[in-house]
Structure 1
Amino acid sequence: MASPPTYPDEKKLELGTTALDSDSEYNSFSALIAEDESHEIQLRTMTWQKAAWLLCGDQVCLAIMAQTWSLSVLGWVPGILTMLGAGILFWITSMTMWRYIMKNPHIKDICDFGYSIFGKNRLAYEFSGFMLLANNIMLIGFHVLTGAKVLNTLSDHSLCTVVFSVIVTIMGIVMSLPRTLNHVSFMSMFSSVCMGIAILLFLIFAGIENAPGTGYDGVYPADGPVKTYAFPLPGTTWVACMNAVLNITFLWVPQILFPTFIAEMKKPEDFPKALAVLTGISAFLFVVPPAIGFRYLGQYSTAPAFGSLGVVAYKKASFAFVIVPTLIIGVIYANVSAKYVYGRVLGKSRHAHSNTVLGWGVWAAIMVGIWIIGFIFAEVIPSMGDFLSLLGAAFDSFFGFIYFAVAYWHLHRGNLFNGAARSIMSVVHMFVLAVGLFLLGPGLYAAVEAIIADYAGSTRPAFSCANLAI
């Protein structure tokens, strides 16, 4: 039977949620780490270097290869400005999250974070938990579908797509069995390297081939010679532009995982070092490869951009490396989701941090359940791309913007405009709140419109054997 939820203010260590002086901050974390060291299964073991690998393993992903399409919709000027602006806001909001957690060491996941910033409101905790699971499990479904696409492409559709999805799901379950993120961070090194190789091969192939292959408006040269442009082409709809923006913001908003990452670090005060590594790598990969891809593919850009390559061998060679990050990023989201559910099931019992049959049995059962639900999402949703836009609007509006504007207000309540620097940051966080509300309003509308259009046309049947090769 599931245990009742343990809210942050009911923890054994009463650490409070008000601002603390720096000494008490670290003493509080020291107490949590000391308690963790007394457990048989220790979670707070990651160095900042391993945290950096974990962050990069999550962020260096297939979504990078969808940014070329975003540029083809928005054009150079709005596209690059959106990418750079999203990156700047990512750094600012992530640092705000970290500072808030340093003042509130008991926070172990985004649910605790939401509970705390909204005045210890249990409805906020439950809402955050629902959103965490919905976001992560749908993303796991996206990675199951992506894995099936990779296997379809490499094998020339040698098996039913559902079979490929089952294979990816089973592999994901097996790889997700480690309980600590410290172990998962080791996998993330290989994930980042493989995705980097895939991107590099794509750029080489896009540069050396004579012309792109297929775009959304037909096979080259049906839509004329390759061209790039500063602003959206005539006839581009507002819904298309909004979905391109959501595609960019989705890539820059991974903070839903960050509280869990910080909670498993040996020294949470070192998180900015890991964040700096991630931001530097992301700023390069999220802008430069998509820009080069747009230069060579122009209006023929697809999402992912591998699909635009005209030579089948090039497409297979570059897309093959995507299978590793596809699986490992799914493992990261599964681990964070499972920890939330695991805490709800076993609560404070010894099984939660000991090598017991019940503890490992529950962990394995939860992981199997998460991946199976993700598999079902992958099979029944006609266009995961548009559903990612829905995720960006419905979830990232909260977990990428609104939550951190509220956290900033708590951190500096009463002196929001104390000095020029503080005043500027207060205005920036007001803008962050406005962006979150915009994504939640017009952004959500655009995503829903795109999904309605999916269902109005020909859609892929549920559990279809249809060939999904790019």
Structure 2
Amino acid sequence: MAANEKQIETMGMYATDENSEETKGVFGDDKNHEIKYRTLSWPFVAMIMITEIVTGGTLTLPQALAVVGIVPGLILIVFCGVFALFTSLLLIDFKINHPEVHNMGDAGYILFAPFGLGAVGREVLSCGTIIFAITIVGATQLLGQEALATLSGSKVCLMAYTGIFAVPILLCALPRTLNTGLSWFSLAACVSVLIACIVGMAGAGAEPTADRVVSATVPSNFYTAFLSITNPVIAYAGHFMFFPLISEMEKPRDAKKAAWALQIFATTFYAVFAVVTYYYLGNNVQNPSVLSLSLKWAKATWGLLLPNILVGGSLYNHTAAKILFVRIFRNSHHLHSHTVRAWSVWIGLVVLMNALGFVLAVGVPIFAYLCGIAAALFASWYTYGLAGAFWIHDTYHLKGSAALRRHWIMWTICILTILVGTFICVAGMYAIVKSLVIAYATGAVGHPFAC
């Protein structure tokens, strides 16, 4: 059995005391190490979470309201926010019970080990996390491309803009600890997205769409409705980063404060932005909504949003690289030291993740659909479904089957959480694949590496 798996198997179910993070955590007690990971406070973790969740996806929400109507759309945004808060608290409890868990792969080992499938669960959830993170890196590069093209008047090839934006994403992701740079960059990113979306709402209000139609409800078929629903679902899809973030917290038990701050801010912000923008732009609002603004307001919004997009992409780049880095050097002095081997591997991993995101973004004509497929396959579970399974696992293994019977209401809610994750996964795959088939049939799919 590998060292990592043995550590998880022997320690995973019993680490519930307050000092367990220092003795059994991913980075242990690193006060005397060259590189100290466990330095983040909960306000900085909250800002990092806001940066990686409240980003360019915000701009897709007004169109979701245009498809289903303002009433069901708003209900959906609020429901997803409350549900995401509930599942985030369950994930944090699982992390506190198992401080050695660094990512969804480690959690998957613990979850499936009782069935003799620990190694399988670990590899599937680890690969899913990395794939999902890489697709988001590519998506942020494309958002940066769109922003730079709008600001410059599309004076060069669009692929060049993607490459230009990929460079600062790479550079910001290079520090090996989150507190070295990305936590402070996240402060600027939070301010960036807040001001940018306020300017976007102001632009919509200053120059509203003439003869616009605003609908309370819009009749639509299952395919159309669920395809629009994926926008609010994906807007909260950042839970897979909770484990790596909490692993670098000075006091992991404060993570719930960060989760509350994140979800209150995100849900309120999403609801206000979506409703205000949709009200002024109407049912013809584009996706992203900034495309429906006049050029001057679009430039102002994109320009202010650039720091948020940049830091968000760097966080996902950093996280994908960190998962493999910890996997390679866990229980090794290279993890905490400035060795040539450690830095060479780290830089190589960051470059690799960034390059893969770039190649997917510009080289795969169906990349937008690929992002949707990744979200349906992985975000549905990481953000929603698996949280219920984690609670059931820990309650049974830490407190016994009698505890499940005593907490039957919570058990029922967690079963429903798993079912919701399953529904989002299956229905999301159906909607995305059908839209991809339609795109091919209508000739809407472009060409790889095109300007």
- The TM-score, its normalising length taken from structure 2, stands at 0.93
Provide Cα deviations, 1:204-241, integer angstroms capped at 9, x if missing partner: 110111426xxxxxxxxxxxx311212224xx342221
Change (3 A) 1:267 1:347: closer
Task: Tell me whether 1:448 sits opposite 2:444 in the alignment.
Answer: no
Change (3 A) 1:53 1:15: farther
The match for 1:82 is 76
The match for 1:18 is 13
Contact 1:253/1:400, CA 8 A, preserved across alignment: yes
**In the aligned structure 2, how far is the partner of 1:6 from the partner of 1:284?**
44
Letter paired with 1:151: L
The match for 1:56 is 50
Q: How far is the alpha carbon of 1:379 from its aligned partner?
A: 0.5
For residue 36 of structure 1, give the secondary structure of its aligned residue in structure 2.
Answer: coil
Partner of residue 392 from structure 2, selected from 393, 409, 414: 409
Contact 2:66/2:285, CA 8 A, preserved across alignment: yes
Task: Tell me whether 1:423 sits opposite 2:408 in the alignment.
Answer: yes
Q: Identify which range, 342-351 or 373-382, moves more after superposition.
A: 342-351
Contact 1:379/1:463, CA 8 A, preserved across alignment: yes
**In the aligned structure 2, how far is the partner of 1:137 from the partner of 1:459?**
21
For residue 286 of structure 1, give the secondary structure of its aligned residue in structure 2.
Answer: helix
Q: How far is the alpha carbon of 1:60 from its aligned partner?
A: 2.0
Task: Tell me whether 1:232 sits opposite 2:218 in the alignment.
Answer: yes
Contact 1:6/1:344, CA 8 A, preserved across alignment: no
Equivalent positions of 1:99-248 (< 5 A) are: 99-119=93-113, 121-183=118-180, 184-211=182-209, 225-233=211-219, 236-248=220-232
**In the aligned structure 1, how far is the partner of 2:261 from the partner of 2:5?**
30
For residue 156 of structure 2, give the secondary structure of its aligned residue in structure 1.
Answer: coil
The match for 1:255 is 239
Q: Identify which range, 237-246 or 260-269, moves more after superposition.
A: 237-246
**In the aligned structure 2, how far is the partner of 1:368 from the partner of 1:17?**
32
Q: By percentage of residues, which structure has more helix?
A: 2
Letter paired with 1:437: T
**In the aligned structure 2, how far is the partner of 1:360 from the partner of 1:405?**
38
Task: Tell me whether 1:302 sits opposite 2:286 in the alignment.
Answer: yes
Provide Cα deviations, 1:407-448, integer angstroms capped at 9, x if missing partner: 1111323246655xx333222222211111111222211111
Contact 1:15/1:28, CA 8 A, preserved across alignment: no
Q: Identify which range, 191-200 or 439-448, moves more after superposition.
A: 439-448
Contact 2:208/2:281, CA 8 A, preserved across alignment: no
Superposed CA RMSD in Å reads: 1.9
Contact 1:15/1:105, CA 8 A, preserved across alignment: no
The match for 1:293 is 277
**In the aligned structure 1, how far is the partner of 2:208 from the partner of 2:28?**
61
**In the aligned structure 1, how far is the partner of 2:174 from the partner of 2:136?**
18
Change (3 A) 1:410 1:417: closer
**In the aligned structure 1, how far is the partner of 2:375 from the partner of 2:342?**
34
Provide Cα deviations, 1:330-381, integer angstroms capped at 9, x if missing partner: 1111111111121344443322221112211111111111111100111123
Contact 1:247/1:388, CA 8 A, preserved across alignment: no
Structure 1: gaps of 5 or more residues: 213-224, 466-470
Contact 1:74/1:244, CA 8 A, preserved across alignment: yes
Structure 2: gaps of 5 or more residues: none
Aligned residues: 440
Task: Tell me whether 1:334 sits opposite 2:334 in the alignment.
Answer: no
Q: How far is the alpha carbon of 1:383 from its aligned partner?
A: 5.2
Partner of residue 37 from structure 2, selected from 20, 39, 43: 43
Partner of residue 317 from structure 1, selected from 300, 308, 312: 300
